[in-house]
């Protein structure tokens, strides 16, 4: 316990790169706590009777418990608590948007407990290479399409229950969009480390095979899979729909970030503009900052700073790294003959709300200008690519595009085919759990049996329990 009561309200500082270091490399921004620092931070946790942190977590990670164990220096036990609900913990301890910290009661009194960083301490100082233990085989096969967080989580849930799972993935790497997260957040091996814990499962990866091109849904169902889970994410970018979008030098953020991590090398110009206001746009501009030292880097966004979807962490990081922001500018066209020479924009302000409730945009007369630039990065959003999939799936794609089955258990319009995904790694994992539970209930129902509750993932027969005081999930997929 911190000796000075006032120090309870101050976070144990998370070691990080200096500004000068961070803009020249893709090295991780945040460094580990020492064991002493982690214990000190763990001891700040009030161990609330009502664990708002757990309630705020889409996968009900028992953070209150691992905070306690880290505070006591019992790192092995802390790692076990983390891994009990969270098979992608190594990735999440560096990339999660930490909804737990937003819910932490210390937020009101000072700074929330550094819950995500305590997870990292548990993983780094505790025994985090435990293998998961499957139940007795059920001799039933389920196909998962998409090796992103939703697909991996569903595979974990199903394999734990004894199902045999085959994961089909279009790319040569696992992780989906999570594999495009820049290396200054996580160095790139975390997902492999996480999936290595699946070694004892009856789980097969079939890579570089695209549903709708290399195989069909009907083919899967006819070849003995009793159910199929589509965890397709929103793997393609949204275009602007303005003239000049096809010019050389216009780069989709999603493709650029994927190439930065998975190759080929990315070359950018000297005057770089990113259009967009979400985390992907921030990752793109901060990566551009590192890829093109000395270049000018500017974000153009059509609403005010307050309306940006980017997290405070990303926004303040970009500002610290010298990114310039231009707000309330609507893009008119990309200027140039064969290559980008500029971005034509017009100042806009918020007008009365539209029928959907969002404020309309009102153009400011005489405010047109051209921002000189040689590279335009499109970071305005992603969407699902459903090419080659049967329309009978009747998928809901929502505002952000994660294809989802319309039934409450995420079943699609085709019997035995489920679909879901999520807006962050941990939300996608929660969606994977929901679909896996739906698949299990569906298959068991067919055999006249009750669903199988999630077994103890370490095969020690300890029944799964929710933390005391837990009042029910509050997340939306
Ligand atoms: C640049 C970037 C940075 C991000 N940073 C963070 C972050 O820091 N923290 C955070 O929590 N979230 C972050 N996110 C969001 C997070 O990565 C996604 O919400 C999450 O990955 C969604 O998981 P998913 O499994 O639903 O879909 P995806 O991750 O998109 O996975 C879908 C998988 O399905 C495959 N697939 C699609 N169609 C087919 C097909 N027809 N056949 C075979 N395979 C197919 C795709 O190749 C992909 O591997 C970031 C996203 C991006 C793009």
At residue 454 the predicted structure's pLDDT band, cuts being 50, 70 and 90, is very high
Cite the beta strand spans of 266-413 per DSSP E. 271-275, 296-300, 324-326, 329-335, 342-353, 359-363, 369-372, 375-378, 382-383
The sign one gets for the Cα dihedral 119, 193, 196, 442 is: positive
Secondary structure of residue 172 in the 3-state scheme:
coil
On the question of pLDDT at 1 being above 80, the answer is no
Mean pLDDT, rounded, for 345-369 = 90
The 3 state secondary structure assigned to 442-466 is: HHHHHCCCCCCCCCCCCCCCCCCCC
Q: Is 88 in the pocket of ligand 1 (CB under 6 A)?
A: no
For residue 152, how far is its CA from the centre of ligand 1 (angstroms)? 11
* CA gap 199, 87 in Å, rounded: 12
Determine contact, residues 245/228, Cβ cutoff 8 Å: no
Could you read off the pLDDT of 231-268 as tens digits, one per residue?
Answer: 999 888 888 899 999 999 999 999 999 999 987 888 89
**Domain 141-235+384-446 class, CATH top level:** alpha beta
First-to-last CA distance in the chain?
37
Residue nearest to atom 51 of ligand 1 (CA): 177
Q: Is 237-381 the same fold as 141-235+384-446?
A: yes
* CA gap 148, 426 in Å, rounded: 11
Residue nearest to atom 3 of ligand 1 (CA): 181
Maximum separation of any 2 CA atoms in the chain, in Å = 71
What ligand 1 atom has the least distance to the C-alpha of 424?
19
> At the fourth CATH level, which superfamily is domain 237-381?
FAD/NAD(P)-binding domain (3.50.50.60)
Helices (H), 267-374: 279-291, 312-320
At residue 474 the predicted structure's pLDDT band, cuts being 50, 70 and 90, is low
* CA gap 308, 300 in Å, rounded: 11
Q: Is 404 in the pocket of ligand 1 (CB under 6 A)?
A: no
* CA gap 411, 453 in Å, rounded: 19
Determine contact, residues 106/46, Cβ cutoff 8 Å: yes
Mean pLDDT, rounded, for 183-206 = 96
Give residue 321's Cα distance to chain centre: 23
86: left (phi over 0), alpha (psi -120 to 50) or beta: beta
pLDDT at site 473: 64
* Topology (CATH level 3) of domain 5-125: Fumarate Reductase Iron-sulfur Protein; Chain B, domain 2 (1.10.1060)
Q: Determine the Cα angle at 273 with ends 271 and 277, to 5°.
A: 155
For residue 205, how far is its CA from the centre of ligand 1 (angstroms)? 17
Answer with the residue of higher pLDDT: 4 or 344: 344
pLDDT at site 4: 59
DSSP state letter for 117 = H
Give this prediction's pTM. 0.94
At residue 411 the predicted structure's pLDDT band, cuts being 50, 70 and 90, is very high
On the question of pLDDT at 418 being above 90, the answer is yes
* CA gap 386, 140 in Å, rounded: 27
Q: Is 211 in the pocket of ligand 1 (CB under 6 A)?
A: yes
* CA gap 206, 64 in Å, rounded: 38
Could you tell me the residue ranges of all domains in the chain? 5-125, 141-235+384-446, 237-381
């Amino acid at each position: 316990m911190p000796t000075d009561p006032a120090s309870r309200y101050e976070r144990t500082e998370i070691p990080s790169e200096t500004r000068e270091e961070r803009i020249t490399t893709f090295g991780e921004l945040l460094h580990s706590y020492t064991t002493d620092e982690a214990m000190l931070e763990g001891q700040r946790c009030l161990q609330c009777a009502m664990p708002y942190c757990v309630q705020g977590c889409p996968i009900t990670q028992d953070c209150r418990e691992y905070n306690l164990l880290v505070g006591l220096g019992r790192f092995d036990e802390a790692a076990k608590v983390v891994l009990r609900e969270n098979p992608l913990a190594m990735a999440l301890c560096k990339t999660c948007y930490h909804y737990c910290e937003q819910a932490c009661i210390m937020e009101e009194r000072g700074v929330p407990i550094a819950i995500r960083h305590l997870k990292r301490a548990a993983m780094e100082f505790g025994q985090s290479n435990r293998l998961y233990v499957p139940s007795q085989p059920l001799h039933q096969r389920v196909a998962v399409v998409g090796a992103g967080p939703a697909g991996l989580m569903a595979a974990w849930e199903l394999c734990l229950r004894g199902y045999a799972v085959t994961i089909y993935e279009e790319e040569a790497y696992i992780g989906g969009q999570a594999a495009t997260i820049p290396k200054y957040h996580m160095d790139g091996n975390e997902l492999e480390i996480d999936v290595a814990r699946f070694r004892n499962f009856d789980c097969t990866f079939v890579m570089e095979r695209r549903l709708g091109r290399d195989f069909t849904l009907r083919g899967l169902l006819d070849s003995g899979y009793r159910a199929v889970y589509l965890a397709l994410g929103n793997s393609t970018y949204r275009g602007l729909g303005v003239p000049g979008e096809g010019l050389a030098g216009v780069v989709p953020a999603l493709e650029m970030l994927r190439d930065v991590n998975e190759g080929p090398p990315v070359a950018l110009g000297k005057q770089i503009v990113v259009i967009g206001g979400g985390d992907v746009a921030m990752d793109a501009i901060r990566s551009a900052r590192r890829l093109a030292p000395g270049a000018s880097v500017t974000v153009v966004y059509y609403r005010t700073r307050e309306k940006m979807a980017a997290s405070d962490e990303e926004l303040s990081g970009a500002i610290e790294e010298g990114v310039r922001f231009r707000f309330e500018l609507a893009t008119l066209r990309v200027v140039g003959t064969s290559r980008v020479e500029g971005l034509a924009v017009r100042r806009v302000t918020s007008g009365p709300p539209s029928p959907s409730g969002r404020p309309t945009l009102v153009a400011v007369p005489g405010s047109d200008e051209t921002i000189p630039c040689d590279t335009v990065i499109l970071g305005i959003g992603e969407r699902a690519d459903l090419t080659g999939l049967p329309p009978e799936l009747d998928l809901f794609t929502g505002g952000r595009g994660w294809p989802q089955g319309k039934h409450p258990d995420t079943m699609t319009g085709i019997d035995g085919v489920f679909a879901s995904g999520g807006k962050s790694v941990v939300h996608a994992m929660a969606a994977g759990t929901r679909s896996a539970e739906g698949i299990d209930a569906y298959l068991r129902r067919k055999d006249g049996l009750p669903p199988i509750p999630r077994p103890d993932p370490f095969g020690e027969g300890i029944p799964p329990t929710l933390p005391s005081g837990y009042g029910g999930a509050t997340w939306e997929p």
